[in-house]
Structure 1
Amino acid sequence: MRLRRPLVALCTIAPLALAAAGCSDSSGGLVTGTDAAGRVSQSVSDPLQGKCSRFAARGVTSVTNNTGVDIVLHRTRDCTDLANQPGTYLGTTLSIVATSGQGPWRSFTTVGWPPPVPPNVPGARIN
């Protein structure tokens, strides 16, 4: 059986177009930081891949990562690490509370690439 060229081209291009539509530069979800008094000081919706996201200037001591990617928490506002004090790794859909002498965290970066669809969490939205 012989296939026509337009059909072959469509069958070749369609999967590529669908794969490209699933790609995104955001991690789909919400990162929430809470200060020592228990007040939500910042919520970052759909943080961008490869960009530094900042918390409030005073920093946060508790963070919940409701995104589809892991994050690294930093003590500086520019997502760098202090000497001999590496950032704190926080996996997707996990939370962390700073121990004495550990926080506050003032920024975070994403790790890896986002899934094509945000995780099923409150506040997540599909772009």
Structure 2
Amino acid sequence: MQTSPFATTGALKKCLDVLGDAYDVVIVDTPPSLDFLTANAMFAADVVFVPVESGSKLSLVGTDDMLQFIRDAQGVNPRLQFGAAILTRHDARKKMCKITASAVKDFYGRVLDANSVIGRGACGHIPRYRQMADK
């Protein structure tokens, strides 16, 4: 028997309720998985934002599952609203990033217009250079 991840939600909400009005905004960052941790965060949240890596086909694979997960969360937390998808590592010069941005807008409807962050190609090689230096 498969249990819904929303069957045991509420722990995080109880902790946040104790804070009362001490904070105007609390941001909860969850791992990129649709599990009990994410369910607890959505049960406690008012708004959910979904980061999507621009230019990555893999980041689009779970889009349908994520949208269904949000709808399921809204079933147990009616105040939960979808804020927007947030494109990460977006480079508007690259064709695949443009395709991803268009697909994300089609799937999610709302995409947060954040400043583009241009990745530095050399940064991806740092671990390899470190291994060579350690030898």
Highest RCO, 1 vs 2 (Cα 8 Å, sep ≥ 6): 1
Structure showing greater Rg: 1
Q: State the TM bucket, normalised to the shorter chain.
A: under 0.3
* Structure with greater proportional strand content: 1
TM-score with structure 1 length normalisation? 0.23
* Structure with greater proportional helix content: 2
